[in-house]
Amino acid sequence: MNTHPMKLKIDGVDVECSEGSTILTAAKTVGINIPTLCYLEGLTPYGGCRLCLVEVSGTNKLFPACATPVASGMEVTTQSPKLHEYRKMVLQTLLAERTHICSVCIANDHCELQTQTNQYGVDHVFYERNWSCNEIDSTHDFLVIDRNRCILCTRCVRACDEIEGVHTLDLKFHGKNTDVIMDQDELWSKACSCTSCRKCAKVCPVGAIYVEGENIEYTKDPQVIAFIVERRKCLK
Amino acid sequence: MVDNKILILPVTRIEGHAQITIYLNDDDTVKEAHFKVTDFRGFEKFTEGRPFYEMPSITSRACGICPVSHLLASAKACDQIVGIDPPKTAVKLRRLIHMGQMIQSHALNFFHLSSPDLLLGFDSNPTQRNIFGLIEREPELAMRGIRLRKFGQDIIEKVAGKKIHSSEWIQPGGAKWPLTQERATYLRDSLPKALDATQKTLNMYKQMLDGLQEEVTNFGNFPTYYMGLVTPNGNLEHYDGQLRIIDPNGAPAIECIEPTKYPDIIGEAIEPWSYMKFPYFRNIGYPNGVYRVGPLARLNIASHCGTPLADEALGEFKKIGKNSPVQSTFHYHYARLIEILFCIENTKRLLTDPDIQSEHISAKAFVNNTEGIGIAEAPRGTLIHHYKVDPQGMVTWNNMIIATEHNNLAYNMAITQVAKKYVKKRELHEGMLNRVEAVIRAFDPCLSCATHAIGHMPIDIQLVATDGTLLDHKTR
């Protein structure tokens, strides 16, 4: 791999990083925090939630920082009134898409979507809410999926595929009909490829996948993915 | 014949929204009065399809005043679904948090909602007849009430993490975290002041009673059945125990049955003019099977409280009834103060229990039964949560009978009695209507719960003829 250093500016700060780095990882090296939801260190970037959109000088287009490779000479802006409004809009659309009622959610106070909405001051949703009413699948011995709270970030799908290596979870359909499924759209108890490893519950940023009867703060452990990836590198 | 009615909409200084319609005869005397609850919330329906273990969190949102009672009744129903008994420390902590709930809710009703009537007068200026007027006129008493309520809320916060909606703490099979030494010590240190405030208020109230005999006689003073939970030896009970119903003479009508058998003794009727259900005593039938629940009922059915100071106060209280139940709804206030005293003594007992700080507070299991019934004594009376679930634990059916609902038939009798005494002319007097409202306040209904609302409550009173003619109109 070419490790030719790339020089760019992020929020006016000179940054030097290796080729192939993304704007998000480059920003992290200089302590600039860009908000994310679907991104999780250790998994392939997905660029689905659009919360990490940033401005790049020379173009009007916004780029997802998690999935955009750096280029020499790039000038990136991560915080601006325009981006702030975009991020608020993204959060509102996520809230409007399904049924999110924090007060009675199992992930209340331990939810990344809730943290971001609080941080961005999203106290109202100005879009018509869908109020989805999907059946909850709790047929697994201890894992439960409530698709009404799913934000389709695909962290669970990617963790299941890339880290556990079984690909039990995937997506079906497109657009507003998209849903996370198990095997061939089976009930979880019938999904024989599932190893019950709990990684899906550990990485879920909201209260969509959880372990029944377990305190959510003990279940959630998204950093475990980066830990596993690093350990595996050591084994090679 | 012209049939007229007076509308009090909404009723003020209660928890939730309601209206009172007073129907008049041709000679302007009162025919009857209806207490109407005007909100629909639908908890029983929209919880269908949710996992049973979410029920404490969801159902407790029915009310910001007594969420702990909902949490407990709901958790007890969930305990039955998983088929396990929580560890003894969890039960004691649940009892402790419930003591906090009782103290803060009773203090809210007595000091914030009812005292303005009792101390400033039923006919006093309505702009002053509120907690702020009370602070101005009786600052020491008002502060006592505020501090007592704070003490109740402190118990809830120290045990369960938050003063209101501390639903994360409770779970089927027990609770999530133990009581720390530091928090237990804080609560123990707060006890003497709370006890002193309660005793002072109880003594003050007893002295005031002589001047309130007219209200005592006319505020919902009629014989009914009474229902509540008692301990196996017939003492006052708030968390567990067995159901007892006594008849208007004080004789047992239903003696200590398992609460899960409630459907055998309580029927539920509906009327087209109210969103609140009309529970009735099945042995008598509807609509005559009127029974009351709440502090007055609990003290009427209990043989003893089980704590020294409260037992002494109960002895004095029972003398009012002269070997029969105390029938005047006005004495709910008295009963409420005695219950606060009991709760403070019981809080002390629980906080000095060697088990209270044990860390063994949770037993875990999955769905073992497809039905669960949880019953606890909420501040306003017997609270019933009854769930049915599928084998995966998703709720398929939910029936909740809220304390306030049990008293529904009695509300209508009480407001009719008060209206007949005080409402005699077509011309409306604010003080007269306030008395009609005050009898409802004595019950301390929580309509947010009973409709399974919150909000500001300006009052709008209309006198309307059956042909729709507005005869008189007052707002405040």
Which of B58, B165, B392 shows the shortest C-beta gap to A138?
B392
A–B interface: beta-carbon pairs under 8 A: 35
Contact residues, chain B, for A135 at CB < 8 Å: 49, 394
Contact with chain A for residue B200, Cβ under 8 A: no
* Shortest Cα distance, chain B CAs vs residue A111, angstroms: 14
Measured distance CA(B238)–CA(B240) in Å, rounded: 6
Return the residue of B nearest to A140 by Cα: B392
Q: What is the CATH number of domain A86-235?
A: 3.30.70.20
Q: How far lies A71's CA from each of A23, A29, B418, in Å?
A: 9, 16, 83
Task: List the single best residue of B46, B58, B74, B168 to mutate versus A (max A Cβ within 10 A).
Answer: B168
Contact with chain B for residue A134, Cβ under 8 A: no
Maximum Cα interatomic distance, chain B, rounded to a whole number of Å: 71
Which of A104, A133, A135 shows the shortest C-beta gap to B57?
A104
Which of A106, A133, A212 shows the shortest C-beta gap to B366?
A212
Contact residues, chain A, for B61 at CB < 8 Å: 103-104
pTM of the model: 0.86
Alpha helices in B269-307 (DSSP H): 295-301
CATH 3.10.20.740 in chain A: give the residue spans.
Answer: 5-79
Q: Could you give the ipTM of this predicted complex? A: 0.80
CATH 3.10.450.50 fits domain A5-79: no
- pLDDT by 10s per residue, chain B, length 476: 445 777 777 666 566 667 788 888 877 788 888 888 777 778 888 999 999 999 999 999 888 888 999 999 999 999 999 999 999 999 999 999 999 999 999 999 899 888 888 888 888 887 888 888 888 888 999 999 999 999 999 999 999 999 988 888 999 999 999 999 999 999 999 999 999 999 999 999 999 998 889 888 888 899 999 999 999 999 999 999 999 999 999 999 998 899 999 999 999 998 888 888 899 999 999 999 999 999 999 999 999 999 999 999 999 999 999 889 999 999 999 999 999 999 999 999 999 999 999 999 999 888 999 999 999 999 999 999 999 999 999 999 999 998 888 999 998 888 888 888 887 666 667 777 777 778 888 888 776 555 543 233 334 545 555 555 666 655 54
* Nearest alpha-carbon partner for B376 in B304, B449, B315: B449
CB contact under 8 A, B54 and A106: yes
Contact residues, chain A, for B53 at CB < 8 Å: 212-213
Measured distance CA(B302)–CA(B234) in Å, rounded: 6
pLDDT band at A3 (very low <50, low <70, confident <90, very high): low
Predicted local distance difference test score (pLDDT) of residue B435? 79
Q: What ranges do the domains of chain B cover? A: 4-40+411-475
CB contact under 8 A, B168 and A144: no
CB contact under 8 A, B58 and A106: no
Contact with chain A for residue B53, Cβ under 8 A: yes
DSSP β-ladder status, B170-171 and B174-175: antiparallel
Measured distance CA(B414)–CA(B430) in Å, rounded: 19
- Amino acid in position B256: C
Measured distance CA(B399)–CA(A89) in Å, rounded: 40
B356 close to B89: Cβ distance less than 8 angstroms: yes
Measured distance CA(A3)–CA(A18) in Å, rounded: 5
The first and second tokens of residue B433, run together, are 């209507």
Contact residues, chain B, for A103 at CB < 8 Å: 57, 61, 165
